Chains A and B, each alone.
Chain A
Amino acid sequence: MAESGSINDLKKKKEFKLNNTVVLFIVLIILFAVFSYVGKPFFFSKLNLIPMLNNLSFIGIVAAVLTMVMVSGEIDFSVGGNIGLTACLTAFLIDKGMPGWLVVILALFSGLVMGAFNGMIVTVIGVNSIIATIGTMFIWRGIGYTLTNGESILAINPVIDYIGRGFIFKVIPFPIILLVITFIITYLVMNHSKWGRKIYAIGSNPIASFLSGINVKKVKFINFLICGVTASLGGLILTSLTAVGMPQHGQGLELVIVSSIILGGTALGGGRGQILGTLAGVLILSILYNFLTIMNIYYFYIQIVQGAVLILVVSTYEIRQSLAKRRI
């Protein structure tokens, strides 16, 4: 039994075991194949796939960082409102004739402020993060509406244009680069750094983490800060993709983002979750919603699917967990 060979064998077996993320990627490939076949002339074409990837990029960027927040046991529903406000602010400042680089910095700074506000309420005062961020979601969107007076403002500026519609080496869209960079960084942070291990520890047991010397509130606060900044980055990409800043940008996005994160295997109460799982979740849901749009399904019926997907995904994990508990 104590032979080293057998332990190595065990390790190898563990590596080959199907985990959640792999299953999700297999599902993704199957779905992609099925959708390509059913939505034949339109789905698998350059005209559809490139915009789909662009749309997916800002959802993915926000989802990757929100995964960190959710693993630490909190949630941020205000990302949709944050995207709307950032879009309005960007367009507003460009309309006032500010240089592009300054607008980008200011937009990201506004995200920092929003993240700080969320973090303050949740960590310092100790409000339930779900309700707090539902409230701030309305505040951000309301400020966006006030700023633009409910209208949409054109945002045309070389720097802003490049963020969402630029190409690197004339082939790879710039938002995809941003997406890949975000996922690599968050993957490294979550799986190969002290910070990531702190986040997992806090999510699974905040009291134990506090007692073992982790500054729980600081970790959560900084997570909220990063989440605010990346949501603003998502807002910049969306503004650039549509070349317009309007307060309705990102409405209902929190539903899509949260359900793709949960589909990726992140537990609602925290402590469990994988960045790669989130990537798979984002890809699966984006493909699904894009396919429904291609099949000419009315937007409000897609909303039904979005709500049903959220409930189904959460139920599946909840049921699996209770089955696992019963087995013990």
Chain B
Amino acid sequence: MDQAGKKYSAFFNFLKTPTPTLIGIYLILLLLFSLTNENFFTIQNIKGIFNNFAVFGILSAGVTIVMIGGGFDLSIGSTAGLAGIVSSVLLMKKIAVPTPWVFIIAVFIGCSVGLINGLIITKVGINPIITTLGTLAIIRGVCYFWADLNPRVYNVFVQNFGRIYLGNVFPVTTLYIIISFIILTLILKFTRFGRDIYTIGGNEQLARLAGIPVDRIKIISYVISGFFCAIGGLILISQLGSGRPEYGTGAELEVLTIVVLGGVVVGGGRGNFLGVFIALAIIQTISNGMVLLDVPVYLRMVVKGALLVLVITIDAIRNKRHLLMY
């Protein structure tokens, strides 16, 4: 009885989260697109959708952790671009750093950007959005140090890193996303770090009073975000075969939309990775559908902005912010 009641409530708790709604929206979208376009529900296209959401998926893994902790990271696009261009420069024939070192250096760059963000946000105490907006501009400027080198990626291992299909159907990048989401979910559910980060997002003052090392945990969350930015940058150069300073521009918009749509509350404290994963699929399906339906390129930008506004509007209404009188 007790056990059954527990299960029952867990199921109802799941129904209370936005995830079931998201699954419903996703199924409706799939039905809609497959009815309107016969090319949508083909293996080729589905493969394409899954391979295309690699970078955004990896980036949203880190941003989800940061946002559950009540933070914000807008510098992800630039950080991915920086990690990408630096590693592609290191892979150039003239320099030819061994491949493992390229990965280590890329991850080091990503983590140090996250560390700097975290230090500024926690130790100086600036609003995270403003801080990462500043670092976004700075890092994008740094990317242009290598603008005239125009490096190409010929390294086979790096090429395969983001392009290979397992059994010719399943993209390996999706495997990375699933693995990292599962690991992060386990960390959030079963470690002290995970519980602390939910507490901090829910009420930072309370967390501080309860003796949780708020600053340290926040910094770690930004470092995690930086780590995933580095991986995202490596996937970018692997899929595109070259390093350009403008890679990753505007990724923050899309990732923010995905994460907030996935049910991570703006301001922190609530959110899970299953929702983010489905949101990722929804957003990528919409992008893909817009391509198939031949929506003009510039109109897609409007749609993306409108989606973000729509998603945060839903977030605000769900948290009853419209009832506040001030």
Contacts and interface: CB of A to CB of B under 8 A. Distances in A.
Given A217-B325, A318-B124, A142 B304 contact: yes
A217 B296 CA distance: 37
A136 B322 contact: no
A202 B326 CA distance: 9
Contacts of B124: 315, 318-319
Interface in A140-171: 140-143, 145-146, 149-150
A310 B130 CA distance: 8
Nearest to B307: A135
A318 B126 CA distance: 7
The interface centre, meaning the residue of B139, B147, B298 with most chain A CB atoms within 10 A of its CB, is: B298
A303 to B, nearest CB: 4
A303 B137 contact: yes
A34 B323 CA distance: 54
Contacts of B48: none
Interface residues of A, number: 52
Contacts of A137: 305
B305 A300 contact: no
A135 B309 contact: yes
A302 to B, nearest CB: 8
Contact of A310 (B133, B142, B299, B308): B133
Contact of B120 (A121, A124, A315): A315
A242 interface: no
B137 A142 contact: no
B253 interface: yes
Contact of B138 (A141, A143, A258, A307): A307
A109 B114 CA distance: 42
A300 B140 contact: yes
A310 B137 contact: yes
Interface stretch (B19-27, B58-66, B221-229, B311-319): B311-319
A318 B309 contact: no
Given A124-B322, A127-B321, A310-B133, A139 B316 contact: no
Contact of A216 (B141, B317, B326): B326
Question: On chain B, which size bracket covers the interface?
Answer: 35 or more
A139 B306 contact: yes
A124 B316 CA distance: 10
A143 B302 contact: yes
A305 B296 CA distance: 35
Contact of B141 (A134, A207, A300): A300
Given A134-B253, A311-B131, A142 B301 contact: yes
Contacts of B312: 127-128, 131-132, 135
A126 B137 contact: no
A16 interface: no
Contacts of B321: 125-127
Contacts of B137: 252, 255, 303-304, 306-307, 310
Nearest to B135: A307
Interface in B1-27: none
Given A135-B309, A303-B137, A311-B134, A126 B324 contact: yes
A209 interface: yes
Contact of A209 (B142, B299, B326): B326
Given A126-B321, A310-B137, A311-B131, A318 B125 contact: yes
Contacts of B136: 307
Interface in B106-158: 120, 124-127, 129-131, 133-144, 147
A247 B136 CA distance: 21
24 contacts: A124-B322, A126-B323, A131-B308, A131-B312, A137-B305, A138-B302, A139-B309, A142-B300, A142-B304, A142-B305, A143-B302, A149-B298, A209-B326, A216-B325, A216-B326, A217-B325, A255-B133, A258-B130, A268-B127, A304-B142, A308-B138, A311-B126, A311-B130, A314-B126
